[in-house]
Amino acid sequence: MKGINIRKIAALASGIALLGASVAVADVVYGNTQLVDQNGQPVVKVVVGANAAASDGVAAGNIAARIANLAYKSSTLTATVSGEAACSVGGANGSTGAGSCAVTNKKANLEITLPGVTAGAYQFTTLIADYIDRMPGNRNTTSSDDIWSSSSDTSTTMSGLYGGATATEIRGTQNVFKISGAEFAPFASATVTDTSGSKTYSETQAMWIYGETYFSTSADAIVAKFSGIGYTAKFDSGDYGIMVCTGSNYDYSNYNACAIGDNEHINTHKAEIQFLGQTWIISELTPPLAVAGAYNLNSTTTTLLGGSVKLAKSSQSGIINVGDELDAGTVKIRLSDISVATGSGNAHPAIVDILDANGALLQQTSINEGTTYSYTTGGTTVKIHVYKTAPGFTLNAKWADMAIFTDELLLKNTEKIDASSGDPNYDWKAYIRWKNKGWASGGNYSNSQADNLREIIIYDPETYSGKTAGQSINIIGDPIVYQLQYDGLSLASSDYDRLKFSIVNADELGSVALGTPIAETNMTSNTTCGDDAAAITGKVIKVESGISNAFKIPNSGGDTVNKFYVRYLTNSSAAGNVTGAVMLYYQPSTAACDYWQGGAQGFSAAGAAVASLNTTGGSEKAVAYETVGTGTAQGYLSFVTGNASSDGGNLSIYIQEDAGKVNSVSANYDSFVFQAIGLSSASSFEFKARDSDNSDRIMYNSVQYVAELLEPKSNLYDAPLISERGSKFIGLSSDTVEFDVAKKIADAKYVLMSSGTESTSNVLKKSLAEGEETELTGGIKVKVDTITQTVGSCVAGAVAGSTPDCTVDSSGVSAVISPNNAASVEVSEPYLLSSDLVVLDSNAAGVGKVISVGGPAVNSVTREALAGSDVDFATKSVVVQEVGNTIVVAGYSAADTLTAAGQFIAGIQKQ
């Protein structure tokens, strides 16, 4: 080989210096040569001789790999909010038109406000006097809509709590409410991978709840009762479940025959499942054992309850050799040795040393394969689990597959999770459901043993009554993972109208045109203005609302007011010979001066019949009160009169309201009832629940308050009382009765949320470490670096006097990453190579800057760069040198060329 011409290299020095100055901002360089520009694009080619040895190709490949690895640029990305929440307007109360929601307060924190949803949780609702069952909202618990009708294990409509004869403690429960992964993100479907067994399984999770929503007189509130809560994790592999034994050694006759320490046993595979939305390791599966001479599970379709499952969470795990350690925090765990064979099964326990922080021996113990040993010190318990051991013949051949468990949970069929009554999980029981894949036609008891884990069930059969707004129960007690909370009613203070009845002096009316009472079906207008008749004396009933135009006067041509007066007429009244008639006075909207209009409502002949201002004789007999229902067919006030000679002249006053759905009927009506007593004396009468009652109670006629849904079981109630619609009876005195009437049918709100989440109806507050992510209802995800999105109130067109019903669709709102070069997230963007990085010397003409690998004897580019050189490779066996646009990487031998390539790679710098 020829040597390098030193004089020629020196003559190029000044040009090389200029080249270095021009690439001062280059990202990747060797010496003064730019290899990758600031956009991440390689600006050199690696050239290897067409006749070179394989070692030159290896050297060229190593160099090219390093350059390609550095062919990227760094960018800083920031998270921004993209899209807006959409608000659609329902048809409630005549509301129409498209809605909109203002998205504001886009700043970095972890408080997200979304109207109409519960952030970071799942919210569901019932009506008042309703059940938490398969279909809340219909006040029924026995219809086909309210129960999961199938008992088949393969049916998608089956309740996970359905138990059969061997699970009578699980209520039989088919009328339960289901919350699955479709509603609550932590319960999303998952894939269970048994890597060691080369198996995969699908898993579905669900929460199952039964309860009731009712009014409690002891709490003076709408309360919740939970009387059955369960959780299921169901596994599927061709309609079976997780196999206990895997591998070709096991078939239908012995799917469950592998030993616990066997490589084919699931207990040694560290398979992870989702349990209560968290990742747990299966540390032990124990199917129900077959009884000799008896059939245990002689079917491939039915299931069997029994056995146990042990789950664990691991902080550290792995195979360690003798003398190696696992750090358990307060102590260290060292594998001291593997025992010689012990017992009839020739087991080889791991001999384990427990050391303090300074390495001093605290205890030595032996732990069998598939078992967990607990060591307690200073109030802290360390759980050491041994999956498998290898005895070997030398120290290096001895090892143990071990883990440090941070938590371990034993779920044993029909037994409480914690056996002590003081433990937080005492109320929860486990039920383990199995299937038998190994059963074959004509089989016998030897292959009738369960061999696939089908389902894990935990169930709390206790009844939790009288839960008021904000109270919750834990699921489960230790560790507390989720909470089921009753959040009270959906009505805000603005959702009520104050309805007031009061006994006042008749002179509030001023001068009134009376005249002869008109027919009850013909409430005509009186256009006379002035004092053309005797003024009314005595007392009248004043009815008033806080809503403008709340009342629609019957047969008035459509007049609406927020106040009117009612007077009961007797035989001696100024209105003439009308027994038990009701006069209604109001101020028409067309009045030119302050006067009131009257009309007779009742009957004009004495007798025992009852005349009323209500819908029994037609809508003209009732005052429509559309706050509680559409028209007099749903919401109205009525005044039912009695015969003055038989009942002392009492007037019954009804407030009928739409209480919502019962069974399949969408509109059903409840009513408050009270009386004006002693109306035979126009100057002195009072309000009472009824003539014989001297308390301040009220009568209430319900549509659904029966059995356990009402306390007490009577229709006379003290204040306060909440109706099935959600209206409130405030109080009754001798001259005043008041209600807060619900403008819409109330929902009772429930929320399932993660423990530690502070959740109101629409606000999520949660503490997350950097890089963690939380998912909100509707699929919205927030990831630290923090993003806050506050969605403003809905704005929608509405009919005068009505309240629009807005539904927020936040599916279009998400946090996205956009390259705005803001300081948030730094990423590397690799350069997509569009041509070869390594070329042959025969194709290197016009390439530009090159890295020439190999000496001049085998590489023409090296030969041209070193033309005239007097340097002999025998005296300098490794050469890495910049020569103009060429960097020569060569050696005297194949090994020397590889050494040169290594030196070049080591000299590459990224600025």
Q: Within a domain: residue 55?
A: yes
Q: Give me the CATH number covering residue 891.
A: 3.40.50.12090
Residues 513 and 460 in one domain: no
Q: Is 577 left (phi over 0), alpha (psi -120 to 50) or beta?
A: beta
| C-alpha to C-alpha distance for 783 and 769, rounded to whole angstroms | 9
Q: Are residues 130 and 186 in the same domain?
A: yes
Mean pLDDT for the stretch of residues 586-604: 52
**Which of 356, 380, 409 is the last residue in one of the domains?**
409
Instruction: pLDDT band for 683, please (50, 70, 90 cuts).
Output: low
Residues 268 and 181 in one domain: yes
Name the amino acid, one letter, at 783: K
Q: In the prediction, which pLDDT does 605 show?
A: 31
Same domain, 465 and 505: no
* Element spanning 321, H or E: strand 308-321
Q: Where is pLDDT greater, at 652 or 547?
A: 547
Residues 136, 124: Cα–Cα separation, whole Å? 9
| The two three-digit tokens of residue 227, written as one number | 């009387």
Q: Please give the pLDDT value at position 711.
A: 45
pLDDT of residue 525: 40
User: Domain boundary at 473, 488, 503, which?
Assistant: 488
* Number of domains the chain contains: 5
Residue 484, pLDDT > 90, answer yes
Mean pLDDT of 774-785: 59
Judge if 547 and 666 occupy the same domain.
Answer: yes
Helices (H), 525-643: none
308-343 in b/e form (b: 16+ CB < 10 A) is bbbbbbbeebeebebeeebebeebbbbbebbbeeee
Least confident of 36-50, 75-89, 520-534: 520-534
In a domain, 700, yes or no: yes
Per-residue pLDDT at 675: 86
pLDDT digits (tens, 9 = 90+) for 849-860: 999 999 888 999
**Phi/psi class of residue 238: alpha, beta or left (left: φ > 0; alpha: ψ in -120 to 50)?**
left
Whole-prediction pTM value?
A: 0.65
Q: For residue 619, what are its two tokens?
A: 């809508």
Are residues 766 and 737 part of one domain? no
pLDDT band (50, 70, 90) for residue 595: very low
Domain-embedded: residue 868? yes
In this structure, the answer to whether residues 26 and 13 fall within a common structural domain is yes
Of 11-25, 405-419, 536-550, 688-702, which range is least confident? 11-25
When pLDDT is cut at 50, 70 and 90, the band that residue 373 belongs to is very high
Please state the rounded mean pLDDT for residues 745-754. Answer: 93
What one-letter code names the amino acid at 370?
Answer: G
| pLDDT attached to residue 444 | 59
Q: Is residue 314 part of a domain?
A: no
340 within a domain of the structure (yes/no): no
With bands split at pLDDT 50, 70 and 90, how would you rate the model's confidence at 830?
A: confident
Looking at the fold, whether 691 and 612 belong to one and the same domain comes out as: yes
pLDDT at 123: 92
Ranges of H-type helices in 366-476 = none
Q: What is the token pair recorded at 859? A: 């590489």
Contact 113, 119 (CB under 8 A): yes
Rounded to 5°, the CA angle 681-687-688 comes to: 115
Query: Which 8-state DSSP code applies to residue 288?
Result: P
The residue among 381, 332, 376, 330 whose CA lies nearest residue 352 is 332
Same domain, 185 and 293: yes
Asked if residue 239 belongs to a domain, the reply is yes
- Rg (alpha carbons) of the chain, rounded to whole number: 42
Give the span between the Cα atoms of 418 and 479, in whole angstroms. 12
| 25 part of a folded domain | yes
Can you give the pLDDT at residue 685? 82
Cα–Cα distances (Å) from 362 to 316, 330, 350, in that order, read 20, 12, 17
Say yes or no to pLDDT of 402 above 90: yes
Is residue 183 over pLDDT 50? yes
What values do phi and psi take at 210, rounded to 5? -125, 140
Is residue 629 scored above 90 in pLDDT? no
Is residue 192 a part of any domain in this protein? yes
Q: Residue 159: which H helix or E strand, with range?
A: none
State the angle between helix axes of 54-69 and 894-907 in degrees (0 to 180), rounded to the nearest 10. 10
Residue 565, pLDDT score: 84
**pLDDT at site 593:** 45
pLDDT of 1 above 80: no
Both 786 and 721 in a single domain?
no
Residue span of the structural domain in which 360 resides: 319-334+345-409
> Are residues 811 and 843 located together in one domain of the fold?
no
pLDDT value at 903 more than 70: yes
Do 293 and 349 have their domain in common?
Answer: no
What DSSP designation does 665 have? Answer: B
Last residue of a domain, one of 803, 828, 853: 828
- Residue 158 pLDDT more than 70? no
Each residue of 120-135: pLDDT tens digit? 689 999 999 999 988 9
